[in-house]
Structure 1
């Protein structure tokens, strides 16, 4: 009996050993297959990113790779400019592969053999340079749901696809022979799925995807002959209408030309004053008169422009107690250029006997009616929170839109964090101040997300970055530029607003409240690291992809280099810095659903304590962040939650 028990024990150990060896072998085979792709692409970003472990449980550290239970399940490398010829057996080792997308690259050669990938559901190789026939190995994919091969150079007939699971199919803009669908599945797709780059080639020997009968050909010829006259008449009518429309368009353009030229001249004057405003504090007294003359000239231009509106608009104040001046008072006020923003220039207007205000000129707004615009502005103005910059008033006509805000005396958080680095005049931004700033921004965004009216917006803020975090005279945080997503068209928003730089918009062209959470995570990382983020860098200045940079730092365990030296010298602040870093990393998850809600974020930041002293506690970087013992903390940061990572 004892011998039998001992034998069973050995048998169990042997089984576990074989299973372990088998999983290791599979892992290594998948890694080698990905390395082969990496070598073929020879892309600088892929070369730098595809290092180390490709899978960790249900996460992947490699960009474009997704994993489940340590196995590669998806390869998504879209619009990367990748080139080369993918080997026909490139995916033989990836038996768990479900999704493959090389969309919009420059890959060439024959399409790969998928006979070893029975779980494939989604294949997108569109907009490349693949040639040769469509492989028949695709017919063996029982779970295939989407096959997109359009815009390549494929030739030959279409295989007899008959999978009931296939719901998306497109082989258009290739050189397919006889693209007539020949199976019930293929017949369920529209003709747009088969439109060709070259004339259809058919002969009686082609029995694959169906062919045209002689009767069909004759009938088609008769129909063409009968419709020649009708086509000519339609072409003549279309040509006449086109000429008329072009004439009308030309007339409209000529009437607006003078007005546009005048407006562009005004904008050039604005830019000149903005440039002077940026250096005016270094001017000597002898140059002040010239500066004032230019500012006065801008006001003359603005007054002339607004006067042409013939009194169509006036300042609309958002509160009864705010209506203490009118448009004429604003135009008579002296002004100072503050900067050129994403949607127009901003000025500081000095009103006599009243607090200074900021005038923001808005461009590229949606073509909204006055009532629609006023309704959206009212929703923005109704947001009342101690950490939100209130909208005082607005001015709206067809050609000019102004927003008025109260002036924040201590500037913005971007200049406070990055300004004066390396100079003697630089005042270090210590831990307590950064924690207070993070807490104020979090509370403001939480309010926007919980507000009934604002929560209906896809992205309640939409443009969260350091330059839109202002500091009042007592360093109170005032978040500005919220609600712009309701005023601008999506194509404009996609180019200019931070939320549209999020992973979900880059991958699937969608945004949500969690896009604000991602933006807030980027803001926290910039606040912790002191590094210039690509999302907040001014035009013409290159920043870093801060999420990827921090992720790499944590993964490679040189986390001590993450924190800005202005706070890393504060030894007692180390626990709080680590906790805030964990919050930031969770906010920057690639999958929106894995990011926390703003209410949870506020609660976690509120639990982080300030330090008793906000001064440097030692002359060197805190050793607790640099010695080998920090590797444990680095691992905690990386897998905070349930193994989440980028």
Structure 2
């Protein structure tokens, strides 16, 4: 073993001499044939992808001074390419290993959601890169070691590829987002502070990967396999030593010749050193700027935690919403909060996004979920809310329908109906008159219940952040009759959404308009009128409240309010101020006794009609 260690040490010594000699000679890339311009690099990318859209769009001059970029997906500053964003456009083919060499001003690169294959690129010439996202492609081979040299790297997304080999020892303090999940990586996760700070979910889907923070432990088999490799490695090292020594002799001859040349250029060397010192100072200033951008912006006093605390906390997925995924973050010695990662947003500058957040924060009401903080960066927008301990209204109505379920009684449902009505009235009266849709996405899953069972309306005012295309596909107001017929929305669209929520609350059935993906729902307004016509009114109200016979009259009053809110014509729907008054007039019951009686037989279509108008 001692002899093998001597061989290894000798190999390392020779390797260091070799690298030192090459550096002393000062070789450049000219001998490698990587001359060219940024335009050449982009045209090479286009040729490699051979994409019909890029072939027609990437033509002419890509950047000119500070004019808007003329090529799709290209970002420019002062005529230089600073960003490439080609996401989800069906790119195939491979990217040349040296494709990015000429793009020295590049700070943003995203190829995510395509079909690109081959090895990762060389990033050693892209020292300004802060964002690299090649997720959901078919890249294979090892993770490029050139990524270790990116001192300002903030986001590295490599998940959902076919990468193999170990994870390099990333130690950049600037790195705040890192994901290598769902690859074919192997070995132990390096124990650098940076890599250990990320949640285990960032490493899942790599069967041969082990060690913290993943859930897989490393066993002794790895050491056994390594010990079997020693004889082979020693042989390789000896051969490399012989080759390296021969090369070193040649390089030393070149080295001494180079030294004589450097002595003659002493003054030039001093000037170069001054430039390097200025570069270091500039880099330090940039690190400080990065640290500033990585902070949460609190809407009020700080909550005793920062972004780094969220990234290090244990996280639990709460589900996918229309605006993005939500996670419960449990902070060390702190509160549980909900972090919502926004997606499919309009292009908003930092100032525009901050303005929208201030508008949300100004909406203060006991039945609105307050915004605690937000985070903005070029490719990541986070909203932070307090955690509602009793979940959302959808789960309270429909979840856990078994023996151990705690019944959702009439008084509790009426309390929720009141709280949501008050919140919607506040939004309608305290939102800019030019904002025609203060909420736009009112549904049972967006009504939360705190530790005291108080209803808190969430996700209000976010429609101004996403594009119209995604809003029309996902938001409840866009399913209203007026939008389906005339492509128009108003505050009455929120009233329609509130009516559907009341029908879901009373019937215990899932509304077709707000049913989660993969779940079948019912057009509750049409269903209720059919039930009355066919005289099976006993099925209208949820069984958990229909047994409370003393509350039947109040249930009918709330049902009539709901049906008025669901009128097909917006002009026939009440304003939220009127709705609040009517719901407030319905009194809580002193006792919630159960009596296995049937509903009042006077429940007819005439009794459900209001103001002589036909409903349904």
TM-score interval (norm. to shorter): 0.5 to 0.7
> For each residue in 1:238-294, what CA deviation from the matched residue of structure 2 results, as whole angstroms up to 9, or x when unmatched?
x99874379944874375326442378677699x999xxxxxxxxxxxxxxxxx973
Q: How large is the Cα RMSD of the aligned pairs? A: 3.2
**What does 1:171-320 correspond to in 2, within 5 Å?**
243-244=59-60, 248-249=71-72, 252=84, 253=86, 255-257=109-111, 259-262=132-135, 294-295=200-201, 297=203, 310-311=290-291, 312-320=293-301
Q: Does 1:500 align with 2:481?
A: no
Q: Does 1:487 align with 2:465?
A: yes
1:372–1:300: structure 2 CA closer, same or farther, 3 Å change rule?
farther
Q: Does 1:415 align with 2:420?
A: no
Aligned partners of 2:135 and 2:160 also within 8 Å: no
1:531–1:296: structure 2 CA closer, same or farther, 3 Å change rule?
same
Aligned partners of 2:180 and 2:203 also within 8 Å: no
Q: Which one of 399, 404, 407 corresponds to residue 425 of structure 1?
A: 404
Match of 2:573 in 1: 595
- The CA distance in 1 between the partners of 2:289 and 2:319, in whole Å, is 26
1:330–1:524: structure 2 CA closer, same or farther, 3 Å change rule?
same
- Aligned residues between the structures: 374
- The CA distance in 2 between the partners of 1:434 and 1:459, in whole Å, is 25
Q: Secondary structure at the match of 2:567?
A: coil
Q: Secondary structure at the match of 1:338?
A: strand
- The CA distance in 1 between the partners of 2:309 and 2:549, in whole Å, is 53
Q: Which one of 368, 376, 383 corresponds to residue 356 of structure 2?
A: 376
Q: Secondary structure at the match of 1:491?
A: helix
Q: Secondary structure at the match of 1:405?
A: strand
Q: Does 1:636 align with 2:542?
A: no
Q: CA deviation at 1:615?
A: 3.6
**What does 1:4-153 correspond to in 2, within 5 Å?**
none
1:533–1:268: structure 2 CA closer, same or farther, 3 Å change rule?
farther
Match of 1:547 in 2: 525
Q: CA deviation at 1:484?
A: 1.2
Q: Does 1:458 align with 2:436?
A: yes
Match of 1:350 in 2: 330
Q: Secondary structure at the match of 2:333?
A: coil
Q: CA deviation at 1:373?
A: 1.1
Match of 1:437 in 2: 416
For structure 2, which runs of at least 5 residues remain unmatched after alignment?
1-54, 63-69, 75-83, 87-94, 96-108, 113-131, 138-156, 162-176, 182-197, 205-211, 215-286
Match of 2:284 in 1: none
- The CA distance in 2 between the partners of 1:261 and 1:308, in whole Å, is 27
Match of 1:129 in 2: none
**What does 1:362-373 correspond to in 2, within 5 Å?**
362-373=342-353
Aligned partners of 1:415 and 1:467 also within 8 Å: yes
Q: Does 1:570 align with 2:548?
A: yes
- The CA distance in 2 between the partners of 1:624 and 1:529, in whole Å, is 13
TM-score, normalised with respect to structure 2: 0.56
Match of 2:318 in 1: 338
For structure 1, which runs of at least 5 residues remain unmatched after alignment?
1-238, 275-291, 302-306
- The CA distance in 2 between the partners of 1:511 and 1:572, in whole Å, is 39
- The CA distance in 2 between the partners of 1:329 and 1:240, in whole Å, is 46
